[in-house]
Every structure is written in structure tokens, then in C-alpha cells.
Amino acid sequence: MCGRGRCTLRPEEVARACCVGNLTPYRPSYNVSPGQGEEGGGESSPVLVCMKWGLVPSFTKKTDKPDHYRMFNARSESIREKASFRRLIPKNRCLVAMEGFYEWKKDGSKKQPYYIYFKDGRPLVVYTFTILTTCSSSALQWLHDRMPVILGDKTSIDIWLNGSASEVDSVAGRPYEGPDLVWHPVTAAMGKPSFDGPECVKEIVKSAGGEQATLFSYFGRS
């Protein structure tokens, strides 16, 4: 999964999507990349806090510059095999709510970014910071072989936060197959972390003169 997502939700929308309370302000962004965000956490019960994307492992030396791209995602199939993640699973699980994420499709020598989101506009609930990934759903295999693990209902959210080890592994190991996950191509300018704003998610179609904004129908399944 490429390291880009959109999070412009109001705090109350994040809380509603993740079933948590005790709201904390954060800075909305259409183009979130590893290293962005704020430090937060430390609460004993689920609350909404600002966090920085990209795990910095505990063995990082104080003299080392943190590399947030080093562990910004992790394969759900192997998290219990790696010491950096295994020790965090019992008590450091969290939810990340965002409107959608971006993935790049190779197109000859170029790469075309796509924006993936729920058709009805509700937030995706993914996890964690490291974001867990799994194999792509049958509908998205053409774009990439990996996707973030998406929690599509309250039951899977509750299992992730409070379930047993076997239950947690179950929800973390399967792709979201719902027909309401849709996508469309967006501007190649998404590759720049400094590029931000509503233009990030505007649907485009290629023309002889380059990219052109359009209102053609979703590429996703109806």
C-alpha cells in the first residue's frame, strides 16, 4: 500500500466512525503522508487523539533521526513474527478513520494515482499507525496486490479493540470485499506530500492535452 490517505473529517465524525469519545482537535489534510500528525496517546480507554503516522521502534537511538517511512505499514499475516510489532499487539491497538486512501497503478513509464473510498461517503476505519495491510480484495487486484485492512462495521471494530488473540487475527487477516468500496483516477500531483486540498480527490480523465477534470461515472462496482 502506498503511503497516502485523506483525513478531513470533523472530530465528531471520527468519534462516530470509531465508536469512541473524548474528542481531541487535529489538523485535517487531503494528503496525509508518513511523518505527519502529532504525538498522542497514553489513555487507558478508547479516545480520539492525534497521532503521527509511521512507527518509530523503541530500539531507535536518541541520536538517530526518526524515519517514519520505515514502518508506516505492516503485513497483517506476519505481525506476530516481528518483534517490533508483536509486543504492541496486546495493548497498543488503535483505529484510524479516513475518508479514503490512494494507490498508484503503473501505466507504462508513468504511474496513475487512484483514490479509493466508500461510495456513500462514510469514513473508512483502518488501523494502525503502523497501518496493517492484507491481500487486495477481488475488486482491487488489478490496481495493487495489497490494501489496508478496513473495518466495515461495529462488530469488527469491537473485535479489533477488545477481542481475543484469535478473533483479532481473524479481522486483521481478511480484505474488505463490500461492493460499496469505489475508486477513480486523480491528479498525478498527489505524489508530492506538499500538495493538499480538494483537488487531491477530484476525478480526472486523461486527454490529449493532459489531465482534465470530469464528472464521469465511478470506476467502482455499483
Q: Out of 2, 7, 18, 200, which one is annotated catalytic?
A: 2
- Three-class SS string for the chain? CCCCEEECCCHHHHHHHHCCECCCCCCCEEEECCCCECCCCCCCCCECCCCECCCCCCCCCCCCCCCCCCCCEEEHHHHHHCHHHHCCCCCCCCCEEECEEEEEEEECCEEEEEEEEECCCCCEEECCCCEEEEECCCCCCCCCCEEECECCCHHHHHHHHHCCHHHHHHHHCCCCCCCCEEEEECCHHHHCCCCCCHHHHCCEEEECCEEEECCCCCCCCC
- Known catalytic residue at 19: no
Q: Out of 99, 103, 200, 203, which one is annotated catalytic?
A: 103
- Known catalytic residue at 2: yes
Where in the sequence numbering do the catalytic residues fall? 2, 103
